Structure 1
Amino acid sequence: MCLALCLAAGTAQAHHHGRCVVDDLDREVCLHNPARRIATLSPGATELTYAAGAGDQVVAVVSYSDYPPAAKAVVSVGSHTRIDLEALVSLAPDLAVGWVSGNPTEQLETLETLGVAVFYIEPRSIEGVANAIERLARLAGTEQAGQRVADAFRKQMGRLEKQYAERPPVSTFYQVWNEPLMSVNDQHLIGQVIQLCGGTNVVGEQPRLVPRLDDETVLAADPEAIVAGGMGEESSLWLTYWEQYPNLTAVANHHLFFVPPSLIQRPTPRLVQGTKILCDQLESVRQQRGAR
């Protein structure tokens, strides 16, 4: 009932007028005026919207939207996998920032039928992160603030790329999930970060962006470094699993590394921090090589 009653409260999406951007589904999204009531439907979308200078316009988030700290005070309307549409529409958003592969398509389509503009994002490159910030800033009318953040991000990542461009490669396995065992290929943003740090992703040529694997694949590749995110920001328990294989090079040389997942698995400006951590870890592998 509320969905129908709240329809009038929503701001209709503008077509071919006002401020327009192309989202990550290659759809043109247009607003007559800058968005004033924004719903961010993934933790990454929340971070990117705040980074774009539009934090004060965010009226709804989903669970685990924990950065920046101000986002914790915003009303949560469910999880990225199941949005409470009635609660969301009752907040009268004029823009929803959706996650291409994470939000239920049918729910976002329903939002659009109710007059809420939906901007889909899923940055898959370092430049894609910066560009997402710029496009969000365009929709929110915060272009100057967003441009500053996007430019700073490009500059910082460029510095890291230059610093590690000539470093000897380190064969690396990145674990993005444990059951089932999952990693990333070279087309994934994390795969690109590994390459930036001078790492060689041992499953980089897998056809799927996020391949499902078995232990034997990792044992056969015998990486020098194993890097894991984890179930939480301070939980490195996934790494202890690999200690059952003492002959694995990464285990024998104590090169089992943890990176807080929000710093490397969310496509946001904090990727700079995650990249620095990973690059330092791979550099320690090189230094140990030289000491042997």
Structure 2
Amino acid sequence: MNPTQHASLDTRQHPAPPLRRLARVLVLLCLAALPLQALGEIRVSDDTGRELVLAQPAQRVVSLSPHLTEILFHIGAGDRLVGTVSFSDHPEAAAELPVVGSAGQLDLERILSLRPDLVLAWQSGNPPRQVARLEALGIPVYRNEPRRLEDLARTLERLSLVTDRQAAGRDQAIALRAGVEALQTRYAERPPVRLFYQIWDQPLMTINDAHLIGEVIDLCGGVNVFGSETALAPRVSREAVLAANPEVIVAGGSGEDNHGWLEDWRRWQGLTAVQRENLFFIPPSLIQRHTPRILEGAELLCQHLDEARARRSEVSP
């Protein structure tokens, strides 16, 4: 046997040199550090129970609602957005994105031109036929419809999964749950306050108890005078509000600093809310847009209801 043959046999019969073994260990460690979805497809259920399957984390996302646009920025996935709808104005970077119509009227050609590998749809806010058309064209669609604050926390977690931003999504969800728990602890025993929450003026619209804002009202110790209505965002008449005679009226507005809707109620001096100066404004993006900033809106609402409770002593006989 010549030296060359001997060397070859020796290599097969003995363990790999230390440097080679080290290289193998390093490769295994790198693989272990990869997120699970990098090693296979991503599966997640949306808010309608549909299973969304992606071969890899989404790289080109189109959002069909301002709240979904904002959520992606919250979880650090704003760089994945290639398009959104009108009124997507928070944070400032969102306003620079290409616009694909409004939430209620989508420009399908514009969406397709952006070549999305994921579309985030608002179940109750987007036209169902247009969303279904996108799916029929082979575009993965995630439908979102948070009705409870816990649903919002899960949205943060799920969207962070499909965009490979799990750490940020987890942190945001933990912070939201902690904030909700803190408000529950602080306001659980406060006396109830009957209120009317106005989300639009013409037509006059409110929300029922199944709406996410309904849970915020309950969290603060409020009682929604139209909470038992069937529709999620029912239309109501001025006469119905006058008959309900709420102790508090809370409104957003057509802008972030437009108090005009509240001023209109001053015409009805017989309303308890008017008599006691319990007309409160909350910027709509803080409570009517379903994002982590809803905690800020909830804080404001809880404070306003405490103001109304304090004013009861001013009118006591």
Q: Which has the larger radius of gyration?
A: 2
Q: Does 1:224 align with 2:261?
A: no
Structure 1 alignment gaps of length 5 or more: 1-16
Say if 2:290 is the partner of 1:267: yes
2:225 is matched with which residue? 202
Q: What does the per-residue CA deviation read over 1:101-124, in whole Å, with 9 as the maximum and x for residues that have no partner?
A: 111222222222222110000111
RMSD between aligned residues: 1.2
Report 1:223-242 matches (<5 A). 223-242=246-265
Describe the superposition over 1:47-106 as per-residue Cα deviations: whole angstroms up to 9, x where unpaired: 122223211111111100001111111111111122222222111110000010111222
* Aligned position for 1:50: 73
CA distance in 1, matches of 2:234, 2:109: 36
Structure 2 unaligned runs (5+)?
A: 1-39
Match of 1:9 in 2: none
Output the CA distance in 2 between the equivalents of 1:201 and 1:226. 10
State how far apart, in whole Å, the 2-side matches of 1:38 and 1:228 are: 33
Give the number of the structure whose residues are more often helix, by fraction.
2
Instruction: Give the Cα separation in 2 of the matches to 1:290 and 1:273.
Output: 27
Q: Deviations over 1:168-193 (max 9, x none)?
A: 11111101111221111111111111
Q: Are residue 18 (structure 1) and residue 59 (structure 2) matched?
A: no
Map 1:83-162; keep pairs closer than 5 Å: 83-162=106-185
Distance 1:181 1:130 in 2: 30
- Partners of 1:130 and 1:41 in 2: how far apart? 19
Q: Pick from 67, 78, 81: which aligns with 2:104?
A: 81
In structure 2, give the amino acid aligned to 1:151.
Answer: I
Which range is displaced more, 267-276 or 181-190?
Answer: 181-190
One-letter code aligned to 1:89: L
Distance 1:92 1:208 in 2: 36
- Work out which structure has the larger RCO, using CA pairs closer than 8 Å and 6 or more positions apart in sequence: 1
Instruction: Tell me the CA shift for residue 247 of structure 1.
Output: 1.1
* Alignment equivalent of 1:187, drawn from 194, 199, 210: 210
- Identity of matched residues, %: 49
Local SS of the residue matching 2:297: helix
TM-score normalised by length of structure 1: 0.92
User: Which deviations, in whole Å up to 9, do the C-alpha atoms of 1:218-253 show, x marking residues without a partner?
Assistant: 112111100011111111111111111101100011
How far has the Cα of 1:291 moved from its partner?
4.1
Q: Which amino acid aligns with 2:156?
A: I
Equivalences, count:
276
What secondary structure, in the 3-state scheme, does the structure 2 residue paired with 1:183 have?
coil
Q: 2:195 aligns with which of 166, 169, 172?
A: 172
CA separation in 2, counterparts of 1:117 and 1:30? 8
Q: 2:89 aligns with which of 52, 66, 71?
A: 66
Decide which moves more: 101-110 or 228-237: 101-110
Q: In structure 2, how many angstroms separate the alpha carbons of the residues matched to 1:232 and 1:149?
A: 27
1:249 pairs, out of 251, 256, 272, with 272
The AA in structure 2 aligned to 1:228 is: A
Q: Deviations over 1:4-63 (max 9, x none)?
A: xxxxxxxxxxxxx71111111210001010001110011011112222321111111110
State how far apart, in whole Å, the 2-side matches of 1:150 and 1:267 are.
13
**CA distances 1:114-165 after superposition (whole Å, capped 9, x unpaired):** 2211000011111011111111111111111111011101111211121111
Structure 1 outlier segments of 4+, above 4 Å: none
- In structure 2, the residue matched to 1:36 is 59
Cα distance in 1 between the residues matched to 2:162 and 2:178: 24
